[in-house]
Structure 1
């Protein structure tokens, strides 16, 4: 058994690096499409102000992209450093999407980012616009493959355990690609990134208008962001519902923990708007419920039950016992590969093997576990309810706020009077962190809610870690945290410097001479 302190420190390190990295990713997703929209308007209208907008927001996009790459590389190394048994056990499945992301999506994205910045004046308008859209497509393809890999950890399909190699192996790659949890996570996550991009553009535009600077760019950027943000925020809510339905279908324990639902309610289940979960007593000390809502969201029916935590624990206890049988059969196969009877037993029970491995926390000879140890292993399948319960409600509350915020911004944009709404502009400026807080909450729910599993139902987290010394984990934890903090500070400083300078100071230094000459002589340059 690996020291539990090593496991917890490894989890903390990966959580910190992942959540730091995901500060940069949503802005990359959102800004790439908004830049493509702005350049499309420039190509259609020929008005230079839209080209200047594309360049200015492109500079901020480039700063953010560079930081995202720097923080993302470290994460993949951790699979070999801190999670070596995980890499051995499921690398056949998990490694493929990561490799495809690097070879196809990231190279596509990085190549066209270079062409985006250096292609002005060297490519025609249509060619450069094509480059910009391919750059945006690349960012989304990167997210797709990463979320396919993560979705498989949430809901492992298309793979079986091979007793010959003692690891999980792919048998249906199409099932891995079309994993319903992965697809729901992808559309929900990229939509959240679009909201972050829209909020970023709107907040900086509001800052310019409050200071009376760069009005041409700020007004148009604000209008684009309000429309884009409204559509994206609504899509987050709609696709979040789809993600919730996928969770109810495939990750019942996570859903029950998010809801603080200890007992199975008669259908349709209520939604707990407010509550105080008490995990020790396995109940909620106080709760305010909205009838029927959870049943409609999770099952899309009025007659289907949502199982509660305690009923799911009983089901897990049966799977732990099945895992004992699978483990005993596996030991026989390892001793004698020609043991046909053991192979037949294992084939019937291998899907419970992961639950049997939960007993490794209590004893090595898991086939001899006591009833008390089996019950405790089943209880271990319950994640800590309180943090999940409250984090979900913070995320939903911020989502509702942003729908209302973008709806009001779009209304003001349609009336073309938002420049005079100085209170609203201040709210827009100070709302900048809202999408990031909601996004980080969403990732916390996704990953913390999967515990105690590294791969849901397949590999316990404590079984997946590397056998490192505590001081080794502490050294890398401190080092990565310090490095990421420095990178975040650099990003913020570079962003603020670019924003304070504004497009009038930044853009002349970026333009190719041919572009500057062409647009200086263009008729109607800078007109509305």
Structure 2
């Protein structure tokens, strides 16, 4: 990534997005776990479950506040650093982001307030309803952001207007039910559930190692193990759906994830380990598992997955066609009212490849006169760096398989009634759970890296390159705001971790509950018989 305005703007948005997503998955998952725990409390009336809800709710609240604060910055960056992008897609992005704002700041925030301050003012069932509404609001708030992001990955339901130079919605239904957006939503939410489950599991394991809050720890561990095991399995299934959608709509992303330089006979093999070389444009070595990738990506035995070289050749054809659309668009812009109808017709026939002409702009000011060498360079610029994609995806997958294994073990121990003796018989397993707490965040960040870096150089897949979407800023202006974000976010991260650790060390309140039989009160006077 070059340190120009575009590169620095990308770096700033990537940093703020990855930082924001430190809080999102825990918020998504903890909200559901809180609702489950409170449901048990209302059904059983046992006060220990209320203590659990309040304790984990405190950690949820700390995380929620930081998530909201860091999310605001991301939306402002669309106007600050990506002005042309905002103008280009404002008609498409306006509705999802507005709805997300309404849900986050009115629906979600309202029920968060009721959750924390309604214990003594609402009945048990009313408070439970508020908790479930908070959980659903938190999760559906994420839906609208992912609808917007999914549209960037697979733009549907909109058409470019050459007179306004903007994308305009033609079908909000298609935007809303974009298959890429829906697959991303369920996959992202499930990953959040795994994150929260591993967090609760790890903290509970820490309490058991310290022989503290054992009753809360065992119950929390049982809930987290069952919830986490189901969620980890669903992440794999829903991730498979995301991979299938990538093969349909983002073939270059899939090819770079698999370091697949050439089209292979169907069904394609899966590269477990490889060392891609971008200069030689081949793998120096690879360990393959036959047929697996073809079955996952195509769900068939006879459909090929195109390789990077073949996709580059297809891009060259699209670039040449896009240059024709680019030339027609310039004529429309120069004389919008009296333009020759034949020019408009030429543009309409070729507009689906217009974005590819933008790839030529770093190499020539006149795309229609581009040389073969310039077209070749532009086509290869549409290939992301392969090795970061390849290994980021495999780190994510390895973590996912580990989560299935770990939560399955704890689910079995919980179902078999063996949690009581874990702190004596299997302390090593509790240590594994504690040290595994950071892994879901690593997996989530790797997933977002694959999703976002994998579509480069496009900010809107096949339509608008990232290099054409940035604001007209000076390098020092972006550097200044980037430095400010680094300092501010580092401070917030220290505060977040310090608060979480403080309340984890403190633990749940130790007030006496009906679950523990109270000791008989000492009589104030001796019985008469004793006298």
Q: Which residue of 2 aligns with 1:452?
A: 457
| 1:79-228 equivalences in 2 (<5 Å) | 79-228=78-227
* 1:49–1:527 CA contact under 8 A, matched in 2: no
Q: CA deviation at 1:340?
A: 0.9
Q: Deviations over 1:441-500 (max 9, x none)?
A: 000000100100111111100110111111111111011011111111101000011011
Which SS does the other structure have where 2:160 is aligned?
A: strand
* 1:9–1:473 CA contact under 8 A, matched in 2: yes
**C-alpha distance in structure 2 between counterparts of 1:122 and 1:383, whole Å:** 55
**C-alpha distance in structure 2 between counterparts of 1:491 and 1:497, whole Å:** 10
**C-alpha distance in structure 2 between counterparts of 1:375 and 1:158, whole Å:** 31
- Between 1:3-12 and 1:426-435, the stretch displaced more is 3-12
Q: Deviations over 1:403-427 (max 9, x none)?
A: 0010001111112223422111111
Q: CA deviation at 1:95?
A: 2.6
Q: CA deviation at 1:94?
A: 2.0
Q: Deviations over 1:205-225 (max 9, x none)?
A: 111111111111111000000
Q: CA deviation at 1:382?
A: 0.6
**C-alpha distance in structure 1 between counterparts of 2:104 and 2:289, whole Å:** 43
Q: CA deviation at 1:103?
A: 1.3
**C-alpha distance in structure 2 between counterparts of 1:163 and 1:125, whole Å:** 58
* 1:380–1:452 CA contact under 8 A, matched in 2: yes
2:372 is equivalent to residue 371 of structure 1: yes
**C-alpha distance in structure 2 between counterparts of 1:88 and 1:105, whole Å:** 24
Distance 1:41 1:61, change over 3 A: same
**C-alpha distance in structure 1 between counterparts of 2:394 and 2:151, whole Å:** 25
Q: Which residue of 2 aligns with 1:23?
A: 22
Select 1:476's aligned residue among 470, 481, 489: 481
Q: Which residue of 2 aligns with 1:415?
A: 416
**C-alpha distance in structure 2 between counterparts of 1:371 and 1:89, whole Å:** 30
Which SS does the other structure have where 1:169 is aligned?
A: strand
**C-alpha distance in structure 2 between counterparts of 1:436 and 1:326, whole Å:** 43
**C-alpha distance in structure 2 between counterparts of 1:6 and 1:491, whole Å:** 31
| 1:244-259 equivalences in 2 (<5 Å) | 244-259=243-258
Q: Which residue of 1 aligns with 2:528?
A: none
* 1:49–1:526 CA contact under 8 A, matched in 2: no
Q: CA deviation at 1:372?
A: 1.2
* 1:52–1:503 CA contact under 8 A, matched in 2: yes
* 1:264–1:306 CA contact under 8 A, matched in 2: yes
Q: Which residue of 1 aligns with 2:345?
A: 344
Q: TM-score, normalised by structure 1?
A: 0.95
Which SS does the other structure have where 2:359 is aligned?
A: helix
Q: Which residue of 2 aligns with 1:403?
A: 404
**C-alpha distance in structure 2 between counterparts of 1:94 and 1:103, whole Å:** 14
Instruction: Give unpaired runs (5+ residues) of structure 1.
Output: 509-519
Q: CA deviation at 1:336?
A: 2.8
2:500 is equivalent to residue 495 of structure 1: yes
* 1:25–1:193 CA contact under 8 A, matched in 2: yes
Q: CA deviation at 1:369?
A: 1.4
Q: CA deviation at 1:322?
A: 1.0
* 1:105–1:141 CA contact under 8 A, matched in 2: no
**C-alpha distance in structure 2 between counterparts of 1:14 and 1:319, whole Å:** 29
Q: Which residue of 2 aligns with 1:516?
A: none
Larger Cα Rg: Structure 1 or Structure 2?
Answer: 2
* 1:47–1:527 CA contact under 8 A, matched in 2: no
Q: Deviations over 1:115-171 (max 9, x none)?
A: 000100111111100000000001111110010010011111111110110111111
* 1:264–1:311 CA contact under 8 A, matched in 2: yes
Q: CA deviation at 1:526?
A: 5.0
Q: TM-score, normalised by structure 2?
A: 0.94
Q: CA deviation at 1:226?
A: 0.4
**C-alpha distance in structure 1 between counterparts of 2:515 and 2:275, whole Å:** 60
Q: Which residue of 2 aligns with 1:269?
A: 268
Q: CA deviation at 1:4?
A: 6.3
